[in-house]
Amino acid sequence: MRSLLITNIGELVTADPAWGAGPLGIRRNAALVIDARRVEWIGRAADAPAADARVDADGAAVLPGFVDSHAHLVFAGDRAAEFAARMAGQPYTGGGIRTTVGATRAASDEQLRTNVARLRNEALRQGTTTMEIKSGYGLNVTDEARSLRIAHEFTTETTFLGAHVVPAEYTDRPDDYVGLVCGPMLTAARSAGARWIDVFCERGAFDADHSRAILTVGADAGMGVRIHANQLTEGPGVQLAVELNAASADHCTHLSRADIDALAGSTTVATLLPGAEFSTRSPYPPARALLDAGATVALATDCNPGSSFTTSMPFCIALAVREMAMTPAEAVLAATKGGAAALRRSDIGHLTVGARGDLLLLDAPSHLHLAYRPGVPLTTTVVLNGELV
Ligand code: NIG
Ligand code: FE
């Protein structure tokens, strides 16, 4: 494994205030060495030691790789017509999930794998070095297990979302479906290596009792808990996430004061997914209130063919700044360290000595340009697990 020196870094975002100025821990005119897949040295560019390979950042900003802690990449087909109907005034209900379930079940392993690879590469080119990938479009034992096996080819952060919606064949017997999820499907998900369990806790999907039952069985089996909470309505999802010490409550679009306070007083991260609000024309989550209350906030794409078909963390950062009143620094932290916290990882999401060698270079002198230049492909170079991509 060759060591790598990056020199002439105009703005190094360490994402750790102990390592530099301000909340982003910024160091100027810095250099950094990666060796054995870890950040080994950080210092002044003038003091840079020798390394096997060298990248001259030429004054560019260098950031930790983005951590996208919420993505649904294993699916077939798209729902562009549903998006067009929404832009013409139709509401988003989650009803289209069943359409994608049909297409996913009908697809071959190779088709699913190719689709995941395409989206994963799209994200990587924009600087996403860690991506969580959920199942949830199989919704039977075989197709959930194969979704998770395919997801596992791309990431260790795989999530079992058998409780996405009740599939059509169980419409009249949701209790039986919950039994299937908690029994044979969960066993198959474990064998397929799922690290996390997730539930869409929402009117029209799973209520608090069903969600609690499913998540508890998953936690007892050793899986970490995350919840799709309060996306469409001010439901019980966030309180349940806190009750179960979930790593993350995701969406958090419709929150009461009690929800905000509960998140702030917990170790559960509020993962905000502004791509979904953008693509469903919904109000954005109350990021400012969450941050001001002291909650840990993450930003993620929610990439899926229904509510948010984007792999772009820079786009989510721009939305968070423009639409959710987050400062650029808060948005960058939420897209890096916040995502890492939502996955309960301390080795990623920051650039300090010992961190995993995951970073990106921008064609810009500062992280501010991520929000200032929306829609522009600013990421020029990505280092993934110590290697230049
Ligand atoms: O996180 N809300 C539930 N699941 C996805 C959407 C899935 C879909 O519409 O296909 C979400 O937004
Ligand atoms: Fe989602």
Q: Is 231 annotated as contributing to ligand binding?
A: yes
Fold entry, domain 67-342: TIM Barrel (3.20.20)
Q: Return d(Cα 74, Cα 55) in angstroms, integer.
A: 35
Cβ of 96 less than 6 Å from ligand 1: yes
Q: Give the pLDDT confidence score for residue 287 in this predicted structure.
A: 98
CATH number of this structure's domain 4-65+350-388: 2.30.40.10
Nearest Cα neighbor of 299 from 264, 323, 266 is 323
Q: Give the pLDDT confidence score for residue 329 in this predicted structure.
A: 98
Q: State pLDDT tens for residues 248-290.
A: 999 999 999 999 999 999 999 999 999 999 999 999 999 999 9
Q: Give the pLDDT confidence score for residue 294 in this predicted structure.
A: 98
Q: Return d(Cα 315, Cα 296) in angstroms, integer.
A: 20
CB atoms within 10 A of CB 42: 19
> Closest ligand 1 atom, CA of 306?
9
Nearest Cα neighbor of 144 from 171, 92, 182 is 182
Residues around ion ligand 2, judged by CB within 5 A, are: 302
Q: Which residues pair with 28 in a beta bridge?
A: 11
Q: How far is CA 150 from CA 25, 121, 147, 192, 312, in A?
A: 37, 15, 5, 9, 21
Q: Give the pLDDT confidence score for residue 29 in this predicted structure.
A: 96
Q: Return d(Cα 162, Cα 170) in angstroms, integer.
A: 13
Distance in Å, CA 71 to ligand 2 centroid: 6
**Parts of the chain belonging to CATH 3.20.20.140:** 67-342
Counting other chains too, the contacts that 183-188 makes at CB distance below 8 Å and 24 or more residues apart are 184/141, 185/140, 185/141, 185/144, 185/145, 185/160, 186/160, 186/162, 186/217, 186/218, 186/221, 188/141, 188/142, 188/144, 188/145
pTM of structure: 0.98
Are the beta carbons of 103 and 74 closer than 8 angstroms? Answer: no
β-pair type (387-388, 379-384): antiparallel
Distance in Å, CA 203 to ligand 2 centroid: 15
Low-confidence ranges of the chain (pLDDT < 70): none
Distance in Å, CA 307 to ligand 1 centroid: 6
CB atoms within 10 A of CB 153: 12
Q: Give the pLDDT confidence score for residue 97 in this predicted structure.
A: 97
Are the beta carbons of 139 and 164 closer than 8 angstroms? Answer: yes
Q: Give the pLDDT confidence score for residue 1 in this predicted structure.
A: 78
**Parts of the chain belonging to CATH 2.30.40.10:** 4-65+350-388
Identity at 267, one-letter amino acid code? T
Ligand minimally distant from the alpha carbon of residue 200: 1
Residue located nearest, by CA, to atom 9 of ligand 1: 306
Cβ of 97 less than 6 Å from ligand 1: yes
Cβ of 104 less than 6 Å from ligand 1: no
Cβ of 276 less than 6 Å from ligand 1: yes
Cβ of 94 less than 6 Å from ligand 1: yes
